[in-house]
Each structure stands twice: as C-alpha cells, then as structure tokens.
Amino acid sequence: MLLKFTKMHGAGNDFVVIDLISQHCKLRPRDIRKLADRRFGVGCDQVLVVEPPGSPDVDFRYRIYNADGGEVEQCGNGARCFARFVRDKKLTNKRVISVQTAAGVIELRVRDNHRVEVNMGAPTLDPQQIPFDAEQQAASYTLDVGDQTIELGAVSMGNPHAVTLVEDVAAVDMARLGPLLENHPRFPQRVNAGFMELVSDTEIRLRVFERGVGETLACGTGACAAVVYGLSRGWLRDTVTVNLPGGKLSISWAGPGQPVIMTGPTASVFEGTIRI
Ligand SMILES: N[C@H](CCC[C@H](N)C(=O)O)C(=O)O
C-alpha cells in the first residue's frame, strides 16, 4: 500500500506524521521501524499517527511510536508538530486543540510563527508510577551504572525519565552511559536518560538519550522532566529556557500538582508517499 506522510521536526527531534483519518491501514511494529529507518525508509525519531477522537470531548487521538517500533505514552515535541499538522491539513481550524494520548488528554495552543504551547499535565514523582524500583520516593536516587555511581532524579511526564546533573553536557559519554541508563534494571519499562547542566536558575543545557531511539537533538518530555527535577532540588526558578542540541524550549512549572507548560517551535519539512 502507498501511504502519504509528512516529515516534521520540533527543535530537531524529527517525525514522520501519518493521517489515519483520511487513510486506512494497520501499522505493525515492523512498518514503524521501516518508516523510521534512515536508509531503508524515510527516517525519524518517532512516528506520529493521527486518528479520529475516541470520545466527543477531544478533537483527535494521536499515537506515538519510537523508532524501535514500540508505542509510548507521550511526546512533547511531537505534540507541537501534531497541532501544526492538523491545521496545515485543514483537519481543524482551532487554535486550542485537545488530544487524547496514551498518557491522557493534553491541550495544545497554537501561537504565532509556528510556535505551539502544550499543557503537558502534572508530572509524577512517585516511583511506582514512573515506574522506578525504589523503597520510597526521594529527592534523588543513587544508581550503579557500569563502573560508576550516578545520582539522578526520576520523573514521569506520562513517560519515564531519569535526569542527571552534570558540570558539562558536552563531556557526557552518551554512547556508553545512554544505553546503560536506558536499559537499567531499576526502570522496568526502560527510561529516557537526560543530562542537565545549569547555566543559571532560569536556563539549562540538556542532552537526552531517548528510550527506543538513542540520542536525539531534542526531547520535549525530557526538557519538562529536567525542569521538574531542577526546580524540586531548588536549583531552578519556575520558568526555564532549555537549550538542547537542536534548539530551545521554554518550560514553566508552578510546583507539585501543577501542570508543566512547554512552548517551542515546529517545522514541516516535506511531504511524500512510501510503499508499506
Ligand atoms: N522516547 C520517548 C518518547 C518520545 C519523547 C520525546 N521525543 C519528546 O519530545 O517528548 C519515550 O520512549 O518515552
């Protein structure tokens, strides 16, 4: 079957976006892996699938698949690109769009110059919800990772994140530490591994080794998790600029029980069709 797609990115975190409202096909994990393959397919970090709403009180449902073919709960950069996609494709003309994801309903607000603000919902720090194996919830945890002991924060934005404070993100041995953390046995559903460097109490640098993908140029939920951890530790204020290798995101959080608000760019790069 020939499948139409749109190639997009949010701060360099790239996506193949597929409208399964006007097209009808069943995407198996091997189809996702082919779409995401940078040589045998289109190439992307995640595949985003647009579906009709499952209930009358949301505008759309969107499914998120990592490059390894696994479906995941949440994708911050993807949510922004989703909002741009459904408006570019005239599937809606709303500027405030509610979307059902596997982690719950999120609200997208389209701002000027293709920027989108996303209410990502409230973070979870309860280890059982993340999930993360720990006796009890704590401000940080120490983990044996390879031949190192690493202190990190554990946060869920609907998907699991481990955040480590470092002096210099450029010096992180991502190729070695990333996979060790992603597959650490104390994260039973694996984890996205973020490395955060403090620039000031309102600015950080961040690199993320994403579950199911590897290092990406940006990770929206990772940026949210890093700010939640940094603010919880008293290192950050309530609105933070997050500098990622692919671009900048603005993250705001008013504290426990409050939603995290992420604002950032979207880009639509090309359209195509692929034989699946
Ligand atoms: N790799 C993530 C999903 C995509 C998250 C990221 N691309 C974002 O922008 O939030 C996971 O397995 O939970």
What are 76-109's pLDDT values in tens digits?
A: 999 999 999 999 999 999 999 999 999 999 999 9
Q: Which two tokens stand for residue 220?
A: 């929206």
What pLDDT does residue 156 have? 98
- The number of beta carbons lying within 10 Å of the beta carbon of residue 137 is 15
- How many angstroms separate the CA atoms of 160 and 103, rounded? 11
**Site to substitute for ligand 1 among 32, 63, 74, 163, most atoms within 8 A of C-beta:** 74
Q: Quick check: is 75 catalytic? A: yes
Q: In the chain, what is the straight-line distance between the N-terminal and C-terminal CA atoms, in Å? A: 5
Ligand 1 is surrounded, with C-beta below 6 A, by 13, 45-46, 66, 72, 75-78, 159, 192, 210-213, 216, 219-221
* pLDDT-based confidence at residue 33 (cuts at 50, 70, 90): very high
Determine which one of 25, 44, 81, 219 is catalytic: 219
Give the chain's radius of gyration (CA, Å). Answer: 18
Residues 182-197 have a mean pLDDT of 98
Whether 83 contacts 96, CB under 8 Å: no
How far from 119 is each of 109, 116, 140, 199, CA to CA, in Å? 8, 10, 25, 25
Residues 10-33 have a mean pLDDT of 96
Whether 58 contacts 105, CB under 8 Å: yes
Beta strands in the chain (DSSP E): 2-10, 13-19, 46-51, 60-66, 71-72, 96-101, 104-110, 115-119, 141-145, 148-156, 160-165, 192-200, 203-210, 214-216, 239-244, 247-253, 260-265, 267-275
Among residues 220, 216, 225, the alpha carbon closest in space to that of 196 is found at: 225
* pLDDT-based confidence at residue 54 (cuts at 50, 70, 90): confident
Residue nearest to atom 5 of ligand 1 (CA): 75
Superfamily of structural domain 127-257: Diaminopimelate Epimerase; Chain A, domain 1 (3.10.310.10)
Annotated binding site for substrate: 13, 46, 66, 76-77, 159, 192, 210-211, 220-221
**Predicted TM-score of the model (pTM):** 0.98
Q: Which residues pair with 22 in a beta bridge?
A: none
Q: Where are the domains of the chain?
A: 2-119+266-275, 127-257
What pLDDT does residue 165 have? 98
Whether 232 contacts 224, CB under 8 Å: no
Q: Please give the single-letter amino acid code of residue 39.
A: R
| pLDDT of 240 over the 90 cut | yes
Q: Quick check: is 219 catalytic? A: yes
Distance 74 CA to ligand 1 centre (A): 6
What pLDDT does residue 263 have? 98
Residues 229-243 have a mean pLDDT of 98
Whether 102 contacts 254, CB under 8 Å: no
Q: Which residues pair with 194 in a beta bridge?
A: 163, 208
Which ligand 1 atom is at minimum distance from the Cα of 13? 7
Determine which one of 44, 75, 81, 224 is catalytic: 75
Q: Which fold would CATH assign to domain 2-119+266-275? A: Diaminopimelate Epimerase; Chain A, domain 1 (3.10.310)
Residues 122-134 have a mean pLDDT of 98
Distance 238 CA to ligand 1 centre (A): 22
- Work out the mean pLDDT of the chain and round it to a whole number: 97
Ramachandran angles phi, psi of 74, nearest 5°: -155, 150
Residue nearest to atom 4 of ligand 1 (CA): 75
Residues 46-61 have a mean pLDDT of 94
**Element housing 245 (H / E):** none
Matching CATH topology for 2-119+266-275 and 127-257? yes
ipTM, interface predicted TM-score of the complex: 0.98
- The number of beta carbons lying within 10 Å of the beta carbon of residue 59 is 19
**Which of the 8 DSSP states describes residue 259?**
P
- How many angstroms separate the CA atoms of 241 and 67, rounded? 27
| pLDDT of 126 over the 90 cut | yes
Q: What is the pLDDT of residues 145-172, one digit of tens each?
A: 999 999 999 999 999 999 999 999 999 9
